[in-house]
Structure 1
Amino acid sequence: MASEPVARAVAEEVGRWGSMKQTGVSLRYMMEFGSRPTPRNLLLSAQFLHKELPIRFARRALELESLPFGLSNKPAILKVRDWYLDSFRDIRYFPEVRSRNDELAFTQMINMVKMRHNNVVPTMALGVQQLKKELGHSRKVPFEFDDQIHEFLDRFYMSRIGIRMLIGQHVALHDPQPSGVIGLINTRLSPIQVAQAACEDARAICLREYGSAPDINIYGDPNFTFPYVTHHLHLMLFELVKNSLRAVQERYMNSDKDVPPVRIIVADGEEDVTIKVSDEGGGIPRSGLPRIFTYLYSTAKNPPELDRPNVGVTMAGYGFGLPISRLYARYFGGDLQIISMEGYGTDAYLHLSRLGDSEEPLP
């Protein structure tokens, strides 16, 4: 264990940095800045991250220490907090970035930091689930539990998306880029192509779990492109399509009727690109609709136990897929809406801002 004075010094440092102001970045700025990844620009980017990342890590570490309902003391949450403190320390105590060699060493270090945080989402989910079980056994789930935990997780995961985007973008600018790709941003992303890839992945999981999978029809202009982060769009569409496939599959499992396809429609407007994922999987009762964006709510009958290591990707998650997908949409100024007709099906509308001007929403 760290000796007392060292721990206190770090705690004071975290407190100081956690009270500093964060600096938001827009998709357009990342594109313009990254389109010329000269050594000088990479140096400027590293110097910015050297100052910005400790602020973001410190804020989250402080918040992890002051969560309601005793959540901060759950082993899984303490583990995440230690990851954030370690990352704060690694970046904070890295010497100033002054030369190309400094910059390369810094880039390697923040890439390791990013990998350290790969399992933050399931680990946080585990901590919240542990607490919920405990409170449930004692029949003492406070009325405001869901709201407060939800607000915290929204802030926490939005911040995580930002941190991973900043580190990922800086690291990716060092790799040789195909034409039109700037770091993690594809300036000519085809939503139809990303939808096709996400559909293949989601259908593969559906086939594995159920032995069959509904068809998916995609409509829209195959030549239409706009600038966006491929990985973000794939993640959101994969989640929406997976939910639709599961709903249709479970509704028609023992029926001799024709299984209706899931439909995806891509529309390109002046301001927004909207992607609709439409299914006839029976919809969600209206009483359940407000809950689909809360964490730990899953429409699946038996969501997997999080304690099992290597659960892998299953059809039905821990109820984290939709709220996190909505955060990805909002991160660059878009949104995600779900409209349901109980007894018929569900339409999910994914709005993506095509101007790329909106600043990161900084929690």
Structure 2
Amino acid sequence: MMNNGLFFLLFSCQVRDWYLDSFRDLRSFHDIKDKSDELEFTQMIKMIKVRHNNVVPMMALGVQQLKKDLDAKINYKDLDEIQQFLDRFYMSRIGIRMLIGQHVALRDPSPLPDCIGYIHTKMSPVEVARNASEDARSICLREYGSAPDVNIYGDPNFTFPYVPAHLHLMVFELVKNSLRAVQEKFMDSDKVAPPIRIVVADGLEDVTIKVSDEGGGIPRSGLPKIFTYLYSTAKNPLDEHSAIDLGTVTTMAGYGYGLPISRLYAKYFGGDLQIISMEGYGTDAYLHLSRLGDSQEPLP
């Protein structure tokens, strides 16, 4: 237990130091009296946002080190305190980065068309899903040398107000999981790997995006664990790499934060993420995005 506590402490201390530095920067900043001061403040919080880019992989590595050094059989019910802390921590981070990003984007001298800061008033979920799928397939190609196709169904002309960066992250994680499952199931098979299917549905209350695969599914015993940070069906990345560069930390799987953080992003704007699986066949992920605009920020 000494090793896992030590490694987790080292990762946590690095993240704590980043937050302390940012807090000091904010506290020591002088009063804003004119436009020049405001521009200087904007640059300062922009640098703070960059400083914290690697918080999630850093924390994830700490958690995976903890998992690696714990006993082989983990009682996930006994780890509720870690789960609740990480949920609160990551939700706070989403809110902070949303505020900083919105402030910085509103002061962009060359704003994107139809955008109000971070919010795209005419975002096409089909287009975002296509871009996220292409990014996920490129990771899969790099990892395995090939990647299943991704078929997207929906009206590309349908738009609604949302944050494209948030949706891209969520769809990217879901498609990445599906690609890995299908690729690993059919890697040594003579059969052609079936495509991942993405369906975008325009509802009155929600825009729902379904990501379906035929990657073999998840055992029913594993479903309660998929939104916990200590669970992953992939190998622990710390078993694969003795030294990991946080700048290139994106891999197919293994860090255990893709699904739980994607659900937090969905919940931030009043949505949700649900997973339904058929062991022996495949998995359907339902990403619900609220379009009512009546949800409050879910502060922890």
TM-score by structure 2 length?
A: 0.91
Pick the aligned partner of 1:356 from 271, 284, 293. 293
Contact 1:284 / 1:342 at 8 angstroms: preserved in 2?
Answer: yes
Compared CA separation, residues 86 and 264, structure 1 to 2 (3 A): same
Pick the aligned partner of 2:120 from 186, 201, 210. 186
Compared CA separation, residues 90 and 271, structure 1 to 2 (3 A): same
Pick the aligned partner of 1:229 from 143, 157, 163. 163
* 1:15-94 map, 5 Å: 74-94=9-29
Compared CA separation, residues 160 and 286, structure 1 to 2 (3 A): same
Amino acid at match of 2:182: V
1:5 maps to what in 2? Answer: none
2:272 maps to what in 1? Answer: 335
Pick the aligned partner of 2:54 from 111, 119, 135. 119
Offset of residue 96 of structure 1: 2.3
Contact 1:251 / 1:281 at 8 angstroms: preserved in 2?
Answer: yes
- What secondary structure, in the 3-state scheme, does the structure 2 residue paired with 1:206 have? helix
Query: Do structure 1's residue 325 and structure 2's residue 259 form an aligned pair?
Result: no
Q: Distance in 1 between matches of 2:6 and 2:144?
A: 36
Query: Do structure 1's residue 156 and structure 2's residue 89 form an aligned pair?
Result: yes
Offset of residue 72 of structure 1: 10
Contact 1:74 / 1:131 at 8 angstroms: preserved in 2?
Answer: no
Contact 2:7 / 2:65 at 8 angstroms: preserved in 1?
Answer: no
Contact 1:126 / 1:307 at 8 angstroms: preserved in 2?
Answer: no
Q: Distance in 2 between matches of 1:101 and 1:240?
A: 43
Offset of residue 267 of structure 1: 0.3
Contact 2:8 / 2:65 at 8 angstroms: preserved in 1?
Answer: no
Contact 2:183 / 2:215 at 8 angstroms: preserved in 1?
Answer: yes
Query: Do structure 1's residue 238 and structure 2's residue 175 form an aligned pair?
Result: no
Contact 2:61 / 2:255 at 8 angstroms: preserved in 1?
Answer: no
Compared CA separation, residues 178 and 73, structure 1 to 2 (3 A): closer
Q: Distance in 2 between matches of 1:142 and 1:72?
A: 21
Higher mean displacement: 306-315 or 291-300: 306-315
Q: Distance in 1 between matches of 2:121 and 2:232?
A: 35
2:226 maps to what in 1? Answer: 292
Offset of residue 71 of structure 1: 8.0
Compared CA separation, residues 149 and 120, structure 1 to 2 (3 A): same
Per-residue deviation, residues 80-107 of structure 1 (Å, max 9, x unmatched) = 1111112111112212223212211111
Amino acid at match of 1:294: T
Q: Distance in 2 between matches of 1:234 and 1:223?
A: 17
Offset of residue 206 of structure 1: 1.2
Bigger Cα Rg: 1
Offset of residue 309 of structure 1: 2.5
Q: Distance in 1 between matches of 2:179 and 2:83?
A: 26
Per-residue deviation, residues 305-335 of structure 1 (Å, max 9, x unmatched) = 1762225311113111110111110111100
1:169 maps to what in 2? Answer: 102
Q: CA RMSD in A?
A: 2.0
Compared CA separation, residues 207 and 154, structure 1 to 2 (3 A): same
Contact 1:83 / 1:117 at 8 angstroms: preserved in 2?
Answer: yes
Q: Distance in 2 between matches of 1:270 and 1:239?
A: 26
Query: Do structure 1's residue 128 and structure 2's residue 63 form an aligned pair?
Result: yes
Contact 1:329 / 1:350 at 8 angstroms: preserved in 2?
Answer: yes
Query: Mind listing any 5+ residue stretches in structure 1 that lack a counterpart?
Result: 1-68
Contact 1:71 / 1:128 at 8 angstroms: preserved in 2?
Answer: no
Contact 2:67 / 2:230 at 8 angstroms: preserved in 1?
Answer: no
Offset of residue 298 of structure 1: 1.0
TM-score by structure 1 length?
A: 0.76
Q: Distance in 1 between matches of 2:76 and 2:157?
A: 50
Q: Distance in 2 between matches of 1:73 and 1:238?
A: 27
Q: Distance in 2 between matches of 1:126 and 1:317?
A: 10
Q: Indicate the percent of aligned positions where both proteins have the same amino acid.
A: 73
Offset of residue 129 of structure 1: 2.9
Q: Distance in 2 between matches of 1:123 and 1:97?
A: 33
Q: How many residues align?
A: 292
- What secondary structure, in the 3-state scheme, does the structure 2 residue paired with 1:326 have? helix
Amino acid at match of 1:236: M
Compared CA separation, residues 187 and 339, structure 1 to 2 (3 A): same
Compared CA separation, residues 304 and 228, structure 1 to 2 (3 A): same
- What secondary structure, in the 3-state scheme, does the structure 2 residue paired with 1:136 have? coil
Query: Do structure 1's residue 312 and structure 2's residue 246 form an aligned pair?
Result: no
